[in-house]
A and B are shown apart, each in its own frame.
Chain A
Amino acid sequence: MSTSYYISLITAMFIGGAAGYVGSLMATKKMSLVGDVLSHIALPGIGLGLLYGINISLGALASLVLGIMLIWILSLKTELSMESLVGVVFVLSLAVGFLITPEEELLHALFGNISSVALPDAVAAVFISVIVFIAAKIIYSKMMLAYVSEDLALASGVKINKYNLIYLFLIAAVVAFGIKVGGTLLTSAMIIVPAAVARNVSRNMRQYSWLSVIVGIASAIAGFAVFPFLAARFGLSVVAIGPVIILASIVFFTVSLIFKNK
């Protein structure tokens, strides 16, 4: 195995863990839809990055921040729910992203390109993952309180709007630095699937949050471990490692269904 393979593995583990943890904060049905589509808002930025030769993480970050600001402002100005606003901005981003991303690069934008992960990108991704993890840990129980009751949270002095915004930025950071490894689809999967696995089998917040992290990391490891065999057997290109990681997480999900608590 080459050094770049290990660099990619470590990056994927950190992104997987951070994405899993952040994803577990979307503990309600309402929020999970938001995280589901948020990662795709990065597409126009990736497209611009590819077109003009800028770092695609920076392009993605800019595009996500713009999209999030738009969603946040609209949610304050209109009576519409967060999920329908995210839906609108999502399809807008997807349409614009597909129009401006060069066709031959579309696959990379969606599924990532593991071979293009250079050391500086990996270091940045690891660093950002740690920051995101710490920030999410700080806001975790306050966000959970808001899920139990917004009124109770407000009465306890929790500024819900502020925390929602911080939270959206945390997702943006994970997505922006995760796309190099697995594209927008992988990061979106790492946000959704580990939390779903954890939710199936956890009985409290501690189990749930840690299990989300563990499944995120384990999916990355499992994907990288299985990939060489699949690649040899089916002649997969290195781009396929993102989808293999996603499939690994789905295997965890299937197992969790068997142990689902009643």
Chain B
Amino acid sequence: MDFQDNQNLIENKEEKLLEPGGIAPQTVPQPPMPEVPSRQAMPEKGEELILEVKNLMVSFKEERVVDNLSFNLKKGENVAIMGPNGAGKTVLLKALLGILPYQGEVKWSENAKISYVPQKILPEKNLPLSVEEFFKMKKAGKEQAKEALSSVGITDERFLKKMIGAISSGQLQRVLVAWGLIGNPNVLLFDEPTAGIDIGGEETIFNLLNKIEKERNLSIILVTHDMSVVYGFADSVLCLNKKLVCYGSPAEALGSEGLKKLYGEGVTFYKHEH
């Protein structure tokens, strides 16, 4: 709704320009961006905003967990949210999802279809629920579930019959990603996709993100501690420590100055090659 209003404002401005005798604004308004059919066909990203956050504040009791945060997200952009433990990263994601009460503004564009992949879920080991039934909860039939699972690298059909509490944490992470892909979202919110995955699997989740992002033309907002994920994957980084500490491209935002601000003195990151 709000986003729509903004669009109207822009259109009104243009109309005013056309009026003879109207006051010309100082900046020349941009023509509306044409719809871009696919990422591959577009070398530079569109300016269309998919998310606007203004003065976002989240408090638990007296404590302010996210303080006066403002940022925008362009369509197709991948953002990594970084910060020390307790910096409010997960809280920010939940506020963006609208499942936590907050003050300030969170405006998603009207065509945004958001999906969430939680950090970890701990179903009881013998919870009587099969993977197939878990997908059914999102109204996904067997074929849809199979397709989503195959895009996260699970192709064994017997997997659908497994109990959700009995699969490994790496597989569970993949299942959660696949679950998030049901319904063809255009924005994915990932909470620490590397958490809870064994070392061998970490590389795969990272590759997986790249693959999904390319195949499905989505914006991904992810919370991560993993610098190699940030450098290899994110278009921009948002460093959070209750307040916005830095924001920009990974190279700009995570220079040693930015890291010092975020984690304190004595922290440097060595970009190692695998």
Contacts and interface: CB of A to CB of B under 8 A. Distances in A.
A219 B207 CA distance: 53
Interface string A204-245: 111110000000000000000000000000000000000000
A147 B121 CA distance: 9
Contacts of B233: none
A204 B163 contact: yes
Contacts of A142: 137
A203 B134 contact: no
Contact of B128 (A141, A154, A155, A204): A204
Contacts of A206: 133
A206 B161 CA distance: 12
Contacts of B62: none
B164 interface: yes
Contact of B116 (A147, A151, A203, A204): A151
Interface residues of A, number: 24
Interface string A179-208: 000000000000000000011001111111
Nearest to A29: B124
Contacts of B116: 151-152, 155
A141 B130 CA distance: 12
Interface in B136-157: 136-138
A148 B97 contact: no
B167 interface: no
Contact of A155 (B97, B134, B163): B97
B192 to A, nearest CB: 13
B126 interface: yes
Given A141-B136, A155-B116, A206-B133, A147 B163 contact: no
A148 B94 contact: no
Interface string A133-166: 0000000011011011101101110000000000
A202 B128 contact: yes
B130 A205 contact: yes
Contacts of A28: 124, 127
Contacts of B124: 27-29, 147
Given A155-B97, A155-B99, A147 B118 contact: no
B137 A144 contact: yes
A140 B164 CA distance: 17
Contacts of B94: 151
Given A27-B127, A208-B128, A154 B137 contact: no
Interface of B: 94, 97, 99, 116, 118, 121, 123-124, 126-130, 132-134, 136-138, 161, 163-164, 179
Given A147-B124, A155-B97, 17 more contacts: A27-B124, A147-B123, A148-B121, A149-B118, A149-B121, A151-B116, A152-B179, A155-B99, A155-B118, A198-B128, A199-B126, A203-B161, A204-B133, A204-B161, A204-B163, A205-B133, A208-B128
